[in-house]
A and B are shown apart, each in its own frame.
Chain A
Amino acid sequence: MSSPGVYEGTANAVAALMLLIEFGMLRQALVRDQVRLYAAQSALISVLAVVIAAVRDLPELYALAALSAALKVIGVPLVLRRLLGRPIGEDTPGVPGSYTLGPASAVLASIGLAAFGFFCFGNLGIRSAEAPTTALAIAGAMVFVAFGLMIVRRDVASQAIGFFSLENAISLAALVVAAGLPLILETAFLFDLLLAVVVFAMLIRAHHARAESLSTADLTRLRG
């Protein structure tokens, strides 16, 4: 089989690494580790943006990479640490009962989800000039695994991290398919994400203050 060029191989490798980090978030028991993985994943988005900018000659992407790094690698973990503090502190144990399936089973189930997403998005026949199609398929797999993360984990912080990584997956898809989106719109998306992070953190804090834990096992009052 012919090999992809170095550029395509690199872009796909970075995307695959992001997908693996997504699975890492699925397995991690501690929220602070999940936040670190999220920072790593966001850093990889910036790296990919720089690679695409360098090879495909889109100087706007440099600015986007820098802004994205500032907001998502530094800003979001900082906001989470400030607003959440104790619930995700250094010596907080993992949330008991946080896994509905065990880590191994969750990974295997998510592999199924990822496969579904991968082939759904990959077989659409969408060819982008900026990045290889496999990266779009990997982004699709990441979207499904992020949903899986929100489903199988039963504590609010993991669910929030699942949503943030969903946004990362969509950013990856945007890099592949919409690399030319005007910078002002991309900036607006990033600031909007930061606003969402603040609101999520406030709600998590309220939940933690009320229930003294991050678990959602008791959120069963409203039914029918």
Chain B
Amino acid sequence: MSAAVPIPVIQLLQVLTVALGAPGVMGVIATVEARLQGRRGPRLLQPYYDLAKLCRKEALAPSGASWFFLAAPLVAVTAYLTIPLLIPVLTTYGLPLGYMGDILGGGFLLSLASFVVATAALATGSPYAQLGSSRAKTFSAIAEPVVLFVVFTVALLTGTDLPYALAATVRSSAGQVIRPAHLLASAALFMVILHETGRIPVETHTGTNEFGMIEEARSFEHSGPYFALLKWGSMLKQLILFTILANVFLAPWGLASTQRLGAVLLAIVALLAKAAAIGVAVAVIDNSFAKLRLFKITEYVSAAFLLAVTGVFTLYLGGG
């Protein structure tokens, strides 16, 4: 089909793809993990049903919680839905709203969402929620330098930190894919993603996890539709990070380079497939390693930092 899709529609499609595809990716991860453990596992589309169920339930708030507590999930989801406008989700060429922010801008939005949710959890006064949010903030502060160094790598490689530019650079030749800076930055980013989305070895999703939980705890006090928004938000974050990793670093192919409908549809399918592939890798890691003790998470982050720093160094003298 060679109908041209107008640009605003493509922008909308970017947001919709991420919004609607996020629970699906989460479902893929859960199913693959279960199959690897020898179980049948939940349905692929189970997260959709879960979100729908939660929306029908009653929303409660702790007494003494302010409007902030109720506004936080909305703010978070809004931030998460803005990011697909900035990163190459479906297309290789920059879209008009894409120049609202670069990689750092996307990073700010992610941090904003995380901050808002954590503060809301703090506002409740519940011990588990406070525990979770203080841990979450500490560990994301520790992980920030890694993210920054990855951004530096991008900047050194392309001269800008527009994600579109980096994707174009990586696509341009085989040498770009294999250069150590690129591989190291991708590896560091993958470790950060595991950390940010709360997967093994940082946090566990299954079983009793009170003593080790970081992300899980922040949403303890929310219920009903707000809880659904929070869960959806974390699924969105996961897909966004996977998208950045796939479309900017590892496999920036399959994106639409024209406005033709066929190319755009192919791009949607390619994105979901790449995200699902990363999800499978995450599931395999989930099943292969044990959760780290909390104080060893600093060692984990220092390893990611090492990868990122080495990537930047190799760029410095050229030939990296």
Q: Which A residues are closer than 8 A to B by beta carbons?
A: 1, 3-6, 8-10, 12-13, 15-16, 19-20, 23, 27, 102-104, 107-108, 111, 114-115, 118-119, 122-123, 132-134, 137-138, 141
Q: Which residues of chain B are within 8 angstroms of A119 by Cβ–Cβ distance?
A: 316
Q: Which residues of B contact A8 (CB under 8 A)?
A: 175, 319
Cβ < 8 Å to A, chain B residues 274-320 = 298-299, 301-303, 305-307, 309-310, 313-320
A14 to chain B, nearest CB (A): 9
Chain B residues in 8 Å Cβ range of A1: 156-159, 315
A2 to chain B, nearest CB (A): 9
Pairwise interchain contact A3-B317, C-beta atoms closer than 8 A: no
Question: Do A134 and B306 touch across chains, with their CB atoms under 8 A apart?
Answer: no
B176 within 8 A of partner (CB):
yes
**Contact between A12 and B316 (Cβ–Cβ < 8 Å)?**
no
Q: Interface stretch among B16-24, B49-57, B178-186, B217-225?
A: B178-186
Cβ contact within 8 Å between B319 and A134: yes
Residues A9 and B175 in contact, CB atoms below 8 Å apart: yes
Whether A6 contacts B175 by the Cβ 8 Å rule is yes
Residue B208 interfacial (CB < 8 Å): no
What would be 9 A-B contacts, judged by CB atoms less than 8 Å apart? A1-B159, A3-B169, A3-B172, A16-B180, A19-B310, A27-B303, A103-B299, A115-B313, A134-B318
Q: How far is the CA of A108 from the CA of B302 in the complex (A)?
A: 7
Q: Which B residues fall within an 8 A CB radius of A?
A: 156-159, 169, 172-176, 178-180, 183-184, 298-299, 301-303, 305-307, 309-310, 313-320
Q: How far does the alpha carbon of A1 sit from the alpha carbon of B318 in the complex, in Å?
A: 9
Q: Which of B175, B176, B302, B313 contacts A118 (CB 8 A)?
A: B313
Q: How far is the CA of A27 from the CA of B300 in the complex (A)?
A: 11
Q: Which of A5, A115, A134 has the most CB of B within 10 A?
A: A134
A-side contacts of B179, CB under 8 Å: 3-4, 9, 12-13
Question: What's the minimum C-beta distance from A103 to chain B, rounded to whole angstroms?
Answer: 5
Asked whether, in the complex, the Cβ of B306 is within 8 Å of the Cβ of A137, the reply is no
A3 contacts B175, C-beta separation under 8 Å: yes
The CA-CA distance from A19 to B314 in the complex, in Å, is: 11
Interface pair B178/A10, CB less than 8 Å apart: yes
Given A10-B178, A134-B314, A4 and B303 touching (CB < 8 A)?
A: no
**Among candidates B176, B306, B320, residue contacting A12 with C-beta atoms closer than 8 Å:** B320
Q: Which 3 A-B pairs have the closest CB atoms?
A: A132-B319, A9-B179, A13-B180
Q: Cα distance A1–B315 when bound, in Å?
A: 10
B318 touches A4 (CB 8 A): yes
Closest beta carbon of chain B to A10's beta carbon, Å: 6
Q: Is the CB of B306 within 8 A of A111?
A: yes
Q: B239 to chain A: closest CB distance in Å?
A: 29
- Nearest B residue to A12, CB-CB: B180
A12 contacts B319, C-beta separation under 8 Å: yes
Please judge, given known A-B contacts A6-B178, A13-B183, A16-B310, whether A111 and B156 are in contact too, CB under 8 Å: no
Q: Please, which residues of chain A bring their CB within 8 A of the CB of B319?
A: 4, 8, 12, 132-134
> Within the assembled complex, what's the spacing in Å between the Cα atoms of A98 and B46?
49
B316 near A122 with CB under 8 A, answer yes
* Residues of A contacting B310 in the complex (Cβ-Cβ under 8 angstroms): 16, 19-20, 114
CB neighbours (8 Å) of B303 from chain A are 23, 27, 107
For A111, what are the chain B residues with a Cβ–Cβ distance below 8 Å? Answer: 305-306, 309
Q: In the docked arrangement, what's the CA distance between A104 and B298, Å? A: 6
> In the complex the two chains form, what is the Cα distance from A205 to B81 in whole Å?
62
Residue numbers in B under 8 Å from A10 (CB-CB): 178
Inter-chain CA distance A5–B180, complex, in Å, is 12
Chain B residues, Cβ within 8 Å of A107: 299, 302-303, 305-306
Known: A104-B298, A104-B299, A111-B306. A16 touches B314 (CB 8 A): yes
- Expressed in whole angstroms, the Cα–Cα distance for A19 and B282 within the complex equals 26
Q: Bound complex: CA of A111 vs CA of B308, how far in Å?
A: 11
Q: Which of B156, B180, B299, B309 has the most CB of A within 10 A?
A: B180
Known: A8-B319, A9-B178, A9-B179. 16 other contacts (CB 8 A): A3-B176, A4-B175, A4-B319, A13-B179, A20-B310, A23-B306, A103-B299, A104-B301, A107-B302, A107-B303, A108-B305, A115-B313, A119-B316, A132-B319, A134-B317, A137-B313
> Residues of A contacting B158 with CB < 8 Å?
1
- Closest Cβ–Cβ distance, residue A136 to chain B (whole Å): 9
Across-interface contacts of B172 in A (CB, < 8 A): 3
- Taking a contact as CB atoms under 8 Å apart, the answer to whether A13 and B178 are in contact is yes
A224 to B313, CA, bound (A): 41
Q: Are A104 and B302 in contact (CB under 8 A)?
A: yes
Q: What are the residues of chain A within 8 A of B176 when measuring CB–CB?
A: 3
CB–CB A27/B317 < 8 A:
no
